[in-house]
Amino acid sequence: MLRFLTVLAALLVFPSHAFAEPISIFLAVTSAGATFGAGVVAAIGSITFAGVAAFLMSPFGSLILGIGLQLVTALFIKKPQVPSIEAASVNVRISEPERWLNCGLNRVGGGVIFAEFDSLGNFWYLLAHSDSILSGTQKRYFDNLEISLDANNFVETNEFCLTDGGEIYSGSGTKVKYFQVLTTTPTLTNPIAPAIQAMQLAFPGVWTADHKLAGVAYTAIKIKPIAPENRYKVLKWRGSVGIGEPSFSILGRWNKIFDPRDITQTFNNKSSHKYSRNPVIQWAWFRTHPYGRGKPADSINWLKVAEQANICDILKIDISGGSAPQYQCDISIPESAERNIGEQQILMSCDAQLVFDDDGKCWPRVGYFYATDLHLYRNRDIIAMESVEAQNGESLTHGVIVRYIDPDANYSTQPSAPYINPFYYVEGETPKYLVVDILTIQNHRQAMQLAKSISQRSQPEHKLMPTTGLRGLRASQERIIDLQYDNTFSGDYEIVTPTEIESNGAFVGFGCVPIDANRWNFLAGEEKPKPINADSENTLTPVLPSGIVTSFTNNKIQISFNASQREDWYFEFQNQLKPEGILTPDNSNWLNMIVSKPNNFAYSGTVVFNSDYFVRWRGISTGGTVSGWSSVQTVNTSVLIISANVVSPAIVNEVYAGFTIGVTGGTTPYIYSDRYGNLPDGLSINSANGQISGTPLSVGVFSGIVITVTDEIGNFKNFAEFTIEIEAS
């Protein structure tokens, strides 16, 4: 008679909003008696002291005992709390700010390590971002406002500019820019970031050529002198220096790393490495990085790394129709974090388990269903079996919510929609959820996919712990096995504990839970839409004005619109002269129009006759939120009104049916002309009456045709560009 004790341990790390909490360990201990080779019966309780002692001396007991001792030690030895990934975007000013190692796409702030006025009254502050290469900048933020820079790196976003009269800039008048942002970064070939020359000139003898912060990407921000009475208008933010300066962060592409799938890259030639968000490639980078795990390159199975990286890159379609790779990772690791925690965060992003091959080389097996070739049979391989079947009410939670970094919430932490575990959820009961932070991901579909995987692993239909012969050793390199025990416990199982060998080397044991081909896919109804966060545009952001009608009257552009839906919403309209041949507006030349909210009417200043103007509009709330700008439209400032129905196609060498340009307004007579001479050969326009006629002479598509109409006193207008197609007879 043999007696076995089943222990299923799950280690879950739950960082708080700003700091990582100590590791929590949940142990489910059950006792069951079974005759060798007999059926399985599971029961909780009745564990004798002798049985416990015997268990703790076994290899399985030693494993759990080691975990328990770590937990007890943690209760008495205080360790510094480690910041969460989200804390990387915050500015701090302390004597030794946290150092960060980044890889992937991250919003990164940094530590203020220098802040001073220069001799000209400019205020400078310097932020050390990361011990990483900034390989590309996608966005910049002052606090949570995205900013844009001009060619000289001055911030041109309205909220940080004044007029030359010292007023808050709102689109009209001369814009005065006060903030200059200068960023420098190390490169693959030069670990010392180039010095910022403007800062050296501002502080000669203080910030010398030697102050280059080796291996660090950093930004110097200069604030030009501001008249005392106007300082509050632009220095009203919450940066760490405390003079009202904004907190600065970069949404950037961090680091370039080795990808074994790319034949142009070699591990030892860092200049060949490239940017990547693939979690398996990032794991290999962190595993070998001197600031990561510092393992040698030959300790990794690179062929398996390439195989698993390809699985991560499989495109998945989400519930809204968008597509993204199955797994992506964007990691920010603080220097104070234990290196194995950084590795765990990368592995969590792709639901990976570490595997060692026969040569001792390591690789991560990501969450992906595969057909296994390891089959364990009751009569041949399984020596004994323990099971724990899920009972109603056994689980305190009914599913999982994964918190992730949401780009739509300015890269802050947001919860996913909950995954509801069908094995535990009872219709009509108030559900309770396990909340897990995986702040290395930025995709809601990926977050929900991981929530499903975590839920079905930690809250399965039942749990098994087989003891096998030496054939079970192969389980150490597998994640999925085919287990054939009886009519109840047979099929595919996922291994969820380390594979342990008895001291005599004759038996192998591990814990496993049921798995099917849909573990990492959604069944109908499982994927939910992304929750609306507190700052959602659907709740706080005003909508664009509707019912837009544009016109040119009394030498002004006029726009009427429908009343706003809420009293705290109003609208902003802008116009800009459209030069000849220019298709897109210059974002620095918009002029605000006067808006009369009670009359639902907006109008420009006096404009140039016979010209085209770009116009756009947006909604603004009194709370400070704004909608995006509308698409740009064009308004013509001519008194002429032109209309026509273009006839196309036509037949070569046959008389063209023709059409006439109609005109009203202005002073007759009118003169009509083919502005660019683009009418097809054989067709012409009557300059007196605007009729286009003739017999086309060649086959083709003739585009870019513009007809200009001019009245007797010089008013003119172009009929919208059109195309005539000439077909063969």
Which of 502-511, 531-540, 545-554, 709-718 shows the lowest mean pLDDT across its residues? 531-540
pLDDT on residue 208? 81
Please report, to the nearest 10 degrees, the dihedral formed by the alpha carbons of residues 117, 121, 125, 126 taken in order.
Answer: -90
Dig out the tokens for 576 from the structure.
């800009």
Domain that holds residue 403: 2-75+369-514
Reported as a single tens digit per residue, the pLDDT across 687-709 is 999 999 999 999 999 998 999 99
Q: Do 373 and 356 fall into the same domain?
A: no
pLDDT at position 390 is 64
Query: Is pLDDT larger for residue 183 or for residue 88?
Result: 183
Rounded percentage of the chain residues whose pLDDT exceeds 90: 52
Supply the pLDDT for residue 460: 87
For the chain, the average pLDDT equals 83
Q: Mean pLDDT: which of 86-90, 171-175, 510-514 is highest?
A: 510-514
- Report pLDDT for 80: 54
Q: Is residue 524 part of a domain?
A: no
Number of domains observed in the structure of the chain: 5
pLDDT score of 217 more than 70: yes
Chain centre to alpha carbon of residue 303: 29
The mean pLDDT value for 591-616 works out to 91
Is residue 390 domain-shared with residue 501, that is, in the same domain? yes
Is 527 inside any structural domain? no
Task: Give the predicted TM-score (pTM) of the model.
Answer: 0.64
Q: DSSP for 31-54, please give it.
A: EEEE-TTS----B-----HHHHHH
**Once rounded to an integer, what is the mean pLDDT over residues 197-210?**
87
CA distance 3 to 18: 46
**SS3 sequence of 448-477:** HHHHHHHHHHHCCCEEEEEEECHHHHHHHH
Distances (CA, A) of 727 to 540, 659, 677, 701: 54, 18, 20, 8
Number of Cβ atoms within 10 Å of the Cβ of 159 = 18
Half-sphere exposure of 561 (CA within 13 A, CB side): 26
SS percent in the chain: helix, strand, coil, step 5: 15, 35, 50
Residue with more model confidence, 271 or 423: 271
CA 224 centroid distance within chain: 33
Same structural domain for residues 683 and 628?
no
Q: How many residues does the chain have?
A: 729
Q: 36 vs 559, which has greater pLDDT?
A: 559
pLDDT tier for residue 77 given thresholds of 50, 70 and 90: very low
- Taking the C-alpha atoms of residue 417 and residue 711, their distance in angstroms, rounded to an integer, is 64
Phi, psi of 698 (to 5 degrees): -145, 150
C-beta neighbour count of 370 within 10 angstroms? 12
Q: Which residue has the higher pLDDT, 150 or 425?
A: 150
Give yes or no: residues 127 and 14 share one domain: no
Mark whether 40 and 165 lie in a shared domain: no
Helix (H, G, I), strand (E, B) or coil at 230: helix
Rounded-to-integer distance, Cα 300 and Cα 281, Å:
11
Do residues 385 and 353 both lie within one domain?
A: no
Q: Is 323 exposed, middle or buried (0-12, 13-18, 19+ CB in 10 A)?
A: exposed
Q: What pLDDT does 624 receive?
A: 66
pLDDT at 592: 92
Contacts of 652 (CB under 8 A, 6+ apart): 696, 697, 698, 699, 726, 727, 728, 729
- Range among 60-64, 481-485, 506-510 rated most confident: 481-485
233 and 309 part of one domain:
no
Supply angle C-alpha 272, 276, 278, rounded to 5.
130
Sequence-distant (6+) residues with CB within 8 A of 79 are: 22
Task: Give yes or no: residues 388 and 445 share one domain.
Answer: yes
105 in a domain, yes or no?
no
- For 308-327, what is each residue's pLDDT tens digit? 999 999 999 999 899 999 99
Last residue of a domain, one of 316, 331, 365: 365
Q: Give residue 504's region: left, alpha or beta (phi > 0; psi -120 to 50).
A: alpha
Amino acid letter for position 533:
N
Query: What single-letter amino acid sits at 659?
Result: F
Q: In what order do the strands lie in the sheet with 594-596?
A: 549-553, 556-560, 601-603, 594-596
Which residue has tokens 């947006």? 618
- The CATH number for 606's domain is 2.60.40.10
Residue 255: inside a domain: no
Which pLDDT belongs to residue 583?
84
Which CA distances in Å does 233 have to 147, 243, 392, 419, 626?
17, 12, 61, 47, 19
Residue 361 is assigned to a structural domain of this protein:
yes
Whole-number Cα distances in Å, 346 to 165, 203, 332 = 52, 41, 10
Choice between 41 and 60, residue whose per-residue pLDDT is larger: 60
Yes or no: say if 575 and 590 are a contact pair by the CB < 8 Å rule: yes
How high is the pLDDT of residue 206?
84
* DSSP assignments along 16-34, one per residue: -SSEEPPPEEEEEEEEEEE
The answer to whether position 652 is within a domain reads yes
Indicate the residue among 514, 540, 575 that finishes a domain: 514
DSSP class per residue in 362-393: EEEE-S-------EEETTTTEEEEEEEE--TT
Residues 321 and 454 in one domain: no
Same domain? For 276 and 392 the reply is: no
How would residue 36 be classed by pLDDT, with cut points 50, 70 and 90?
A: very low
Residue 666 pLDDT: 83
What integer pLDDT is reported at residue 29 of this predicted model?
Answer: 31
Structure confidence at residue 287 (pLDDT) = 95
Tokens of 450: 């991981």
For residue 714, being part of any structural domain is answered with yes
Whether residue 85 contacts residue 91, with contact meaning beta carbons closer than 8 Å, is answered with: no
Q: Are the CB atoms for 134 and 213 separated by under 8 Å?
A: no
63 has a pLDDT exceeding 50: no
Identify which of 58-67, 126-135, 275-284, 626-635 has the greatest average pLDDT.
275-284
The per-residue pLDDT for range 384-413, each reduced to its tens digit, is 998 877 665 555 678 899 999 999 888 989
Name the residue among 382, 469, 509, 478 with its Cα closest to residue 61.
Answer: 509
Q: Kindly report, residue by residue over 561-588, the tens digit of the pLDDT.
A: 999 888 888 899 999 998 887 888 887 7
- Domain co-membership, 508 together with 384: yes
Structural domain contains residue 292? yes
Query: Which of 267-271, 578-582, 593-597 is the least confident region?
Result: 578-582
User: At which of 636, 659, 681 does a domain end?
Assistant: 636
pLDDT at 236: 84
Q: Are 490 and 383 members of one domain?
A: yes
